[in-house]
């Protein structure tokens, strides 16, 4: 889910005509799959510190863009990584992949209307 009020606040605070928002959406669309890939590699290697960093990064960018469900799942993954819970981390990462794809699709619609 995307909290579009976050996008509206960003747009208003930047005095944006839509150009900057489109650029931010493009960055999110490019960066979030890489952050997921980094998390997957870290999990594969049982590198919980790297998993925590990747989840933290995704959590932060998602929060700043209003991708609330992605943010919540990334926070959960970060916490699980800190507790070295491999099994639950794998399950949450799978849910996170689906949610990031949904967020990217939602951002594509928002981008078209910006």
For residue 6, give the nearest of 68, 49, 80 by alpha carbon.
68
Question: Which residues lie below 8 Å from residue 72, measured CB to CB, with a gap of 6+?
Answer: none
For residue range 8-56, list pLDDT tens digits in order. 999 899 887 889 999 999 999 999 999 999 999 999 999 999 999 999 9
* CATH number of the domain within which 17 lies: 1.20.120.160
The domain in which residue 15 lies consists of 4-113
Q: pLDDT of 64-88, one tens digit each?
A: 999 999 999 999 999 999 999 999 9
Check whether 114 has a pLDDT greater than 80: no
Task: Label residue 104 by pLDDT band (50, 70, 90).
Answer: very high
Q: What is the pTM of this model?
A: 0.93
Number of domains making up the chain: 1
């Amino acid at each position: 889910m995307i909290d579009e009020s976050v996008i509206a606040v960003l747009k208003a605070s930047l005095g944006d005509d839509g150009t900057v928002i489109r650029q931010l959406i493009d960055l999110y669309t490019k960066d979030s799959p890489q952050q997921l890939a980094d998390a997957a590699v870290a999990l594969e290697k049982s590198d919980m510190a790297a998993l925590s960093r990747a989840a933290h990064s995704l959590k932060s960018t998602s929060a700043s863009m209003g991708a609330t469900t992605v943010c919540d799942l990334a926070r959960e993954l970060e916490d699980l990584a800190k507790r070295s819970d491999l099994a639950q981390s794998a399950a949450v990462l799978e849910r996170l992949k689906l949610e990031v794809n949904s967020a990217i699709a939602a951002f594509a619609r928002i981008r078209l209307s910006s």
